[in-house]
Amino acid sequence: AQALGAQNPATYSVAYYTTLADAEAETNAIATPEAYVNTATPGDFTIYIRITNTATISRCHEIAEVEISAEFLPDPVINGGGSNTVCYDALTDTAVSGITLNSGITAPGYTFEWFLGGTPIGGTDATLVTDLPGVYTVIATGPAPLNCESLLSEPFTVIKSGAAAVRPGETGYTLTNYFADNQVLTIDVAGFGNYTYQLDNGSPQTSNIFTNVSSAAHTVTIVDANVNSCGTITIIDVRTVDYPKYFTPNGDGYHDTWNITGLGNEGTTTSVSIFDRFGKLVKQISTSNESDGWDGTMNGRPLPADDYWFTIEYREGDVTKEFKSHFALKR
């Protein structure tokens, strides 16, 4: 109707073509002009309009050219500069690092609307600095004068992670099968990440459980295993619950006292009763300080080299247990 102006549409026909040759030959007319999409030529292009007087035998016609300026829709693609992670403190649940999201559009003249979980969050720039995890999308509009609005971008997911942390008042681990050769060490820490666990110089593993842990002081390394790792922590002086098979109280600084190892680390304080071979109680010691053990004396007098027996009542988890065995005093 706009092409005809005031002319009677009953006596005139209008057809649209992509080339002048087609317009002159009346071939390859655009079938649905109102839905036409130019896929062949990017940027500016020309449409040819043929107006024909259908009331005359000669079908008089005119061909007009219309220059069309095509503005492609902006196409935002969110990226996080190689990261998709925000780091949080495992104990306070507060952010310790954020992320800068980029719309992927660097040309001037655009405005932006950012969304988190489908809800507008107020960002209007090409980049968005955030420390909130979730699913982000963005719409770009521009440039003037057409100000075309893009489709909603593909979603970009920001994940929440963080370095592991030992909870206040805890050791970060528990032990089971006290005094056995196959003690089990279970790491129990706070955190939001996917972690790997390494005992001493062993291979990292995704399980937080170590079996057949030897009697010694160990170090556990816990790594945030996300591609954009938030950090690593170590738990030192992890000891199994065991007892020395002998001690040598000769004052040389090596094996001078005897005590149960590991119970102090477990947060369990109990006493050990030590007896001579005749069943006489010679000493009671506490497990709270391993270095403050039995020095091989009774009432200040050195006892002879011999085998001595001990008994200890302790709690393993929620179960009260008793253990008895013997060790050697060597002089």
Over the stretch 214-254, which tens digit does the pLDDT of each residue have? Answer: 888 899 999 999 999 999 999 999 989 999 999 999 999 89
Task: Give phi and psi for 14, each to the nearest 5.
Answer: -125, 130
Fold topology of 173-239: Immunoglobulin-like (2.60.40)
Domain boundaries, the chain: 12-68, 85-160, 173-239, 246-329
Cα dihedral across residues 91, 97, 102, 108: positive or negative: positive
Cβ neighbour number for residue 308 with a 10 Å cutoff: 20
Task: Give phi and psi for 80, each to the nearest 5.
Answer: -110, 25
DSSP bridge pairs for 139: 113
Q: Which of 132, 188, 195, 134 is nearest to 163 (CA)?
A: 195
Q: Which CATH entry fits the domain spanning 246-329: 1.10.1740, 2.60.40, 2.60.120, 3.40.390?
A: 2.60.40
Confidence at residue 267, expressed as pLDDT on a 0 to 100 scale: 60
Cβ neighbour number for residue 59 with a 10 Å cutoff: 11
Q: What is the pLDDT along the chain (331 residues), one digit of tens a residue?
A: 566 666 777 788 899 999 999 999 999 999 998 888 877 665 778 999 999 888 888 889 899 998 887 777 889 999 999 999 999 999 999 999 999 999 999 999 999 999 999 999 999 999 999 999 999 999 999 988 888 899 999 999 999 999 999 999 999 999 999 998 889 999 999 999 999 999 999 999 999 999 999 888 899 999 999 999 999 999 999 989 999 999 999 999 899 999 998 886 666 668 899 999 999 999 999 888 777 899 999 999 999 999 999 999 988 878 889 999 999 999 8
Confidence at residue 59, expressed as pLDDT on a 0 to 100 scale: 84
Q: Which of 238, 243, 202 is nearest to 217 (CA)?
A: 238
Confidence at residue 8, expressed as pLDDT on a 0 to 100 scale: 73
How far apart are the C-alpha atoms of 130 and 222, rounded to whole Å? 27
- DSSP track, 73-104: PP----B-TT--EEEE-TTT--EEE-EEEE-S
Cα dihedral across residues 19, 25, 31, 33: positive or negative: positive
Over the stretch 92-126, which tens digit does the pLDDT of each residue have? Answer: 999 999 999 999 999 999 999 999 999 999 999 99
How far apart are the C-alpha atoms of 227 and 225, rounded to whole Å? 6
Q: Is the pTM of this model over 0.85?
A: no
Confidence at residue 5, expressed as pLDDT on a 0 to 100 scale: 64
% pLDDT > 70, the chain? 95
Contact in structure between 153 and 139 (CB atoms under 8 Å)? yes
Contact in structure between 313 and 270 (CB atoms under 8 Å)? yes
Confidence at residue 2, expressed as pLDDT on a 0 to 100 scale: 64
Please identify which residue in the block is written with the tokens 């995890």: 133
Contact in structure between 208 and 188 (CB atoms under 8 Å)? yes
Pairing of strands 306-316, 271-275: antiparallel
DSSP bridge pairs for 308: 327
Query: Which one-letter DSSP state was computed for residue 33?
Result: G
Pairing of strands 156-161, 85-88: parallel
Q: Residue 215: what residue type?
A: S
Structural domain 85-160, CATH architecture = Sandwich (2.60)
Q: Residue 276: what residue type?
A: D
- DSSP track, 203-267: --BS-SEEEEE-SSEEEEEEEE-STT---EEEEEEEE-SB--SEE--SSSSSS-SB--BSTTTTT
Say whether 173-239 and 85-160 share the same fold: yes
